[in-house]
Chains A and B, each alone.
Chain A
Amino acid sequence: GESVGLHLPTLSVQEGDNSIINCAYSNSASDYFIWYKQESGKGPQFIIDIRSNMDKRQGQRVTVLLNKTVKHLSLQIAATQPGDSAVYFCAENVMDNYGQNFVFGPGTRLSVLP
């Protein structure tokens, strides 16, 4: 079939403001999730994870919220800084016919305005 390029949603925020990046996941049985940050020319960098027995988890300047009812994950970044500009991916751990693996969302590009 024809390959369609991914059009990354972009979130632009003012430096110092809070950012909220959203992700819808596909499998209601998924029980482990990770948020990654990817800067240009680099591999994805682990930010924070959460298991399905939790609704919220906090790290340094970041908070992940999990809403299992609507299969929704969000990443909140407090006091966004220029160094936060990157593409952010959510990943869900799924079980398929072969075993477990991570399925990644398309990503959101965060642009921090001075």
Chain B
Amino acid sequence: KAGVTQTPRYLIKTRGQQVTLSCSPISGHRSVSWYQQTPGQGLQFLFEYFSETQRNKGNFPGRFSGRQFSNSRSEMNVSTLELGDSALYLCASSFSVQYEQYFGPGTRLTVT
């Protein structure tokens, strides 16, 4: 079974730009969660989607948004990028919220 895939793996953007990251979950998984990982704050929950609906969200500004498609693939978007948005963005998929959650390799975003 193929694992969680994320594209792109690396991204360099300039302050003020926007970015879209993509995540393809494991086949059969309908829950997709997004996390931000930084050395200073660790792993922080952004939001979770299940069957195209956002079920939960973390404490992040509205510049961070996401969506999920009917095939369970998910995208997250960050608008008006700030230097502090530089991080590893991780996507995780699971059958549902209280089941084993598997992570992708992440997208390393650098904002200059």
Interface size range on B against A = 20 to 34
Stretch from A12-20, A62-70, A73-81, A94-102 that touches the partner: A94-102
Q: What residues on B are CB-neighbors of A101 within 8 Å? A: 33, 45, 48, 56, 58, 97
A102 touches B55 (CB 8 A): no
Q: Is B41 an interface residue (CB 8 A)?
A: yes
By a CB distance below 8 angstroms, the chain A residues around B105 are 42-43
Contact status B42-A6, CB under 8 Å: yes
Q: Which residues of B contact A103 (CB under 8 A)?
A: 45
Q: Please tell me which one of the listed residues B44, B48, B90 contacts residue A99 in the complex, with CB atoms under 8 A apart.
A: B48
Q: What chain A residues lie within 8 Å of B41 (beta carbons)?
A: 3, 6
Contact with B along A72-114 (1 / 0, CB 8 A): 0000000000000000010101001011111111110000000
Determine if A25 is an interface residue (Cβ-Cβ < 8 Å).
Answer: no
User: Counting chain B CB atoms within 10 Å of each CB, which of A42, A91, A98 scores highest?
Assistant: A98
B92: chain A residues within 8 A (beta carbon): 44
Cross-chain contact of A5 among B39, B48, B56 (Cβ < 8 A): B39
**Inter-subunit contact B42/A107 (CB<8 Å):** yes
User: Is A6 a contact partner of B40 (Cβ separation < 8 A)?
Assistant: yes
Which A residues are in CB contact (< 8 Å) with B57? 98
Hey, which chain A residues are within 8 Å of B40, CB to CB? 3-6
- Evaluate contact between A104 and B42: CB separation under 8 angstroms: yes
**A32→B98 contact, CB < 8 A:** yes
| Chain A contacts to B: CB under 8 angstroms | 3-6, 31-32, 34, 36, 42-46, 49, 89, 91, 93, 96, 98-107
Can you give 20 contacting A-B residue pairs, CB < 8 Å? A5-B40, A6-B41, A34-B100, A42-B106, A43-B90, A44-B90, A44-B92, A45-B103, A46-B103, A89-B43, A91-B101, A98-B56, A99-B55, A99-B97, A100-B55, A101-B56, A101-B58, A102-B101, A104-B44, A106-B42
Task: For the A-B complex with A6-B40, A98-B55, A104-B43 known, give 13 more contacts whose Cβ atoms are closer than 8 Å.
Answer: A42-B106, A43-B105, A44-B90, A45-B103, A46-B101, A96-B56, A98-B56, A99-B48, A100-B48, A100-B98, A101-B33, A102-B33, A104-B35
